[in-house]
A and B are shown apart, each in its own frame.
Chain A
Amino acid sequence: MDSIIYNIPASMVEAYRGQRVIVRCHDPRELMGRFADADLQNLAGLQLLSLNSATDELVNWGYAIPIDLILTQPATDFPLLYQHSGLLATHPVRASIPVMPGFGKAVRLALSLNFAVKLEITQPDQTLIEEMAEVLDFYLHHPTVSQPVEGFHSLLFAFYHNDPVMLWTIQEEDPAYFRHIGEHGEETLSGRFTDATATGDSGSFVETFQSELLADKSECVGCEFFPNCGGYFKWPRREYRCEGVKTLFSALRQAAEELRGDLAEVAASKGATPP
């Protein structure tokens, strides 16, 4: 990633022309008239904030534009996902699903429709950890799943490749790469930090936050998962205890080890070098 991506409302398209943008809107028709074909190359994605909107016209607009379906009440809104499956004919589609009670229903349906999934995670309690564990098992082991569930998917491959990619980046919340623009043009940080005004040194926000966590001698000190977590779960409440999320990290690391072992076994049976 080499430049900041701005998440802007449809009303700000003209103001951010020439910048890499993700545009959010309630109705895609708000957006379609504002973009010329030449601008589409700077469109990093489109976030649809209302699943009640018709998206038929989007199927024939642009090509391979990442579309993000934003669910706010996943336990009840999930049937609306059916209305948007036609988008897959021309665009990659992701469902962003907040981790709240019943969110697993939306994940199951989204994956069954071949949508990628991004989990919007805050600081889950034990009940939610259990539902996340069920979703993780579904993602890892169910034979009909063929799309990623983020952040599980990138963490799995981070463990597999011993890659220190961090959850902040995976979840598109690292202010070094992502900024949020409000309805009136105010620039804030992304994701969970939309209340925080961006400043000149916002790019080092994560680095600064991690230094503070370590200086505070929080449980991040010595945590085996810190290279990939980076204190992600210590926001907004630093006193949040990570026992639950660590079980998810452990399950992902174990799955990566099993995958590595399985591939090595197959390679060995053919006399080849393991991947």
Chain B
Amino acid sequence: MRGGHLSLILLPTLKCNADCAYCFEDKTAAHLTLERLSLLIEKVIDYLEQSGIGSLTIYWQGGEVMTLPPQWFEQAKQIIASAAKARNKIIRHSMQSNMVGYDRKWNPVLAEMFGNSVGSSVDFPNLHRKVLGGRVEDFNALWSRKVREAREAGIKVQVISIPNQETLAIGAERFYAYLVDELQISDFQVNTPFPGGELNDPLHGFLLATDRLSHFLIDLLEVWLERGYSQGVRIGPFDGLIDYFITGNGCLPCIWRENCAKEFVCIDALGNVSQCDCWVTSYPEFWFGNLFEADSLSELLRTSPARRRFQERPSVLIQQEDCLHCDYLALCHGGCPIRTYTVQGTLLAKDPYCQLYQSLFREVEGVAARLAGSRAVLR
């Protein structure tokens, strides 16, 4: 077996047990049946074979995945493993959950299917996340209790955090102390917010001022270097960027790929195919098609006009934006389509966080040079 890799963001359910004010997903009760999962995975493997792709990672997201029972995942694992073995493909799994529905019944699935690892999200301060019918004030306490229980069962919880206005106000030091010292999180990623979906009140002002967010991230980088870097704490995207500038390789977030359309595809519980979860849950006009109605995923992807718009985006940006003259073109190629679309109303513009990215790249480049110099002397 040889060839590249595909990331499939799979949404087996659109149901959610949380009610986060900023969520852009159109939540419904729809979920994927196991019969349809079998059909879906056969069509995905057909596509891997036809494209010469040797391995697949399925990123299980929702909705909220833990609104499905663990037994569903146990059967899903068997179905996928059998299909992969029969056709000599490597398929790995990764789960993203809000952990609200977690209890020890999930432990066997998390151990056997997900390598005792799960991704989750927490914000500080929490302004928007809450359980259905619950209060914002209670969410972080519930979340930290569930995460503690998971850790006690040997499960590693990786975290995504999205800064808000209050995060910027309290500053990087307190943010870091809350996640690392108080919650004992040693591996997290900070993402930039964007106002996806229909406009609603919490999203006004959701796109943070680039200069303030930039200062926050650079402050956080300094706090991490001083307190966490040599202690094994990992913060994305800082650690991936440092690796990139030192070695030429680094695990960078999807917003900084040459073209996400070449590496990712997303399928929801109803079989709708789009670029990622943000697109499939909120923007039907950007669906590539429906897998259960199409003869094959290959044909669906090859003929989709919507997908072609994603594929062509970098080559348009390189002609109409200033990306070609950017020192960090190799890292970014115009950035994230969803962040661009939700702010600019078009795919054909560069990421609205361009200035922030450049500031961050420049800062990390300097850090990496210092670290590389130290390593060269020590080696």
The answer on a CB contact under 8 Å between B333 and A112 is: yes
Min C-beta distance of B53 to chain A, whole Å? 8
Contacting pair A143 B315 (CB below 8 A):
no
A16 on the interface (CB 8 Å rule)? no
Known contacts A85-B259, A270-B377, A79 near B3 by CB under 8 Å: no
Evaluate whether A60 and B3 lie within 8 angstroms (CB atoms) in the complex, with A80-B315, A113-B258 already known. Answer: yes
Establish whether residues B327 and A144, one from each chain, have CB atoms under 8 Å apart when the complex forms.
yes
Nearest neighbor of B369 in chain A, beta-carbon distance? A143
- B-chain residues with CB within 8 Å of residue A111 when the two chains form the complex: 330
Chain A residues near B333 (CB, 8 Å)?
A: 112
Decide: B379 and A270 in contact? CB cutoff 8 A. yes
Query: Residue B204 at the A interface, CB < 8 A?
Result: no
Closest Cβ of chain B: how far from A129's Cβ, in Å?
21
A113 to B376, CA, bound (A): 28
Asked if B68 is an interface residue, CB under 8 A from chain A, the answer is no
- Tell me whether A90 and B365 are in contact (CB under 8 A): no
B377 touches A82 (CB 8 A): no
CA–CA, A145 and B19, complex, Å: 45
Quick check: A146 and B258 within 8 Å, CB to CB? no
User: What are the residues of chain A within 8 A of B318 when measuring CB–CB?
Assistant: 78-79, 82, 109
Which residues on the B side are within 8 Å of A109 (C-beta)? Answer: 318, 324, 329
B232 within 8 A of A: no
Across-interface contacts of B145 in A (CB, < 8 A): none
Considering the complex, which residues of chain A in the window 229-273 have a beta carbon less than 8 Å from any beta carbon of chain B?
266, 269-270
Please tell me if A153 contacts chain B, counting CB pairs below 8 Å.
Answer: no
Residues of B within 8 A of A266 (CB): 376-377
Chain B positions 1-59 with a Cβ under 8 Å from a chain A Cβ: 2-4, 51-52
What is the CB-to-nearest-CB distance from A76 to chain B, in angstroms, rounded to a whole number?
A: 9
B72 within 8 A of A: no
Q: Could you give, for residues 314-342 of chain B, a 1 whenever the CB lies within 8 Å of some chain A CB and a 0 otherwise?
A: 11101100001001111101000000000
Q: In the complex, what distance in Å separates the CA atom of A56 from the CA atom of B52?
A: 10
CA distance A82 to B3 in the complex (A): 19
- Chain A window 100-123, contacts with chain B (Cβ cutoff 8 Å), 1 for yes, 0 for no: 000001001101111000000000
Nearest-neighbour CB distance to chain B for A111, whole angstroms, equals: 7
Which B219-261 residues sit within 8 Å CB-CB of chain A? Answer: 245, 248, 258-259
Q: Are B377 and A269 interface neighbours, CB within 8 A?
A: yes
User: Which residues of chain B have C-beta atoms less than 8 A from A185's C-beta?
Assistant: none
Asked if B212 is at the interface (CB within 8 A of a chain A CB), the reply is: no
| 0/1 string, B349-379, CB within 8 A of A gives 1 | 0000000000000000100010000001101
Residues of B within 8 A of A270 (CB): 377, 379
- A33-55 near B? 1/0 per residue, CB < 8 Å: 00000000000000000000000
**Interface residue? B309 (CB, 8 A):** no
A133 CB within 8 Å of chain B: no
How far does the Cβ of B138 sit from chain A's closest Cβ, in whole Å? Answer: 46
- Does residue B87 face the partner (Cβ distance < 8 Å to A)? no
Taking CB as reference atom, which chain A residue is nearest B316? Answer: A79
With A90-B3, A109-B324, A266-B376 already in contact, the answer to whether A82 and B331 are too (CB < 8 A) is no
- Alpha-carbon gap, A230 to B379, bound state (A): 40
Q: Report the separation of the CA atoms of residues A60 and B365 in the bound assembly, to the nearest whole angstrom.
A: 36
B331 touches A144 (CB 8 A): yes
Whether, in the assembled complex, A142 has its beta carbon less than 8 Å from a beta carbon of chain B, the answer is yes
CA–CA, A90 and B316, complex, Å: 26
Chain B at the A interface: SS class: helix
With contact pairs A63-B2, A270-B377 given, residues A82 and B259 touching in the complex (Cβ less than 8 Å): yes
Closest chain-B Cβ to A131's Cβ sits at a distance in Å of: 14
- Write out the residue numbers on chain A whose beta carbons fall within 8 Å of the beta carbon of B104: none
Evaluate contact between A85 and B262: CB separation under 8 angstroms: yes
**A113 to B314 CA separation, bound complex (whole angstroms):** 11
Contacts of B369 in A (CB 8 A): 143
A167 to B329, CA, bound (A): 30
| Residue on A nearest B373 in the bound complex, by CB | A266
Provide the bound-state CA to CA distance between A166 and B110, in Å. 60
- Residue of B whose beta carbon sits closest to that of A85: B258
Please name the residue on chain A nearest to B54 by beta carbon: A89
Q: Which residue of A has the minimal Cβ distance to B249? A: A146
Q: Are B259 and A142 in contact (CB under 8 A)?
A: no
Instruction: Determine the chain A residues whose CB is within 8 A of the CB of B245 once the complex forms.
Output: 143
Q: Is the CB of B315 within 8 A of A83?
A: yes
A13 on interface, CB distance cutoff 8 Å: no
With A60-B51, A143-B245, A144-B331 already in contact, the answer to whether A86 and B262 are too (CB < 8 A) is yes
- B291-333 CB mask vs A (1 if < 8 Å, else 0) is 0000000000000000000000011101100001001111101
Residue positions of B touching A, CB distance < 8 A: 2-4, 51-52, 245, 248, 258-259, 262, 314-316, 318-319, 324, 327-331, 333, 365, 369, 376-377, 379
Task: Across the A-B interface, give the 4 residue pairs with the lowest CB-CB distance, nearest first.
Answer: A60-B52, A89-B4, A112-B330, A144-B330
Residue pairs across A and B with Cβ atoms less than 8 A apart, 17 shown, are A59-B52, A60-B52, A78-B318, A79-B315, A80-B315, A82-B259, A82-B314, A83-B315, A90-B3, A90-B4, A90-B52, A111-B330, A113-B258, A142-B327, A143-B365, A143-B369, A144-B330
Q: Which residues of A contact B (CB under 8 A)?
A: 56, 59-60, 63, 78-80, 82-83, 85-86, 89-90, 105, 108-109, 111-114, 142-146, 266, 269-270
Given A59-B4, A79-B316, A82-B259; 12 other pairs, CB 8 A cutoff: A59-B3, A59-B52, A60-B51, A63-B2, A80-B315, A85-B259, A89-B52, A90-B52, A112-B333, A144-B331, A266-B377, A269-B377
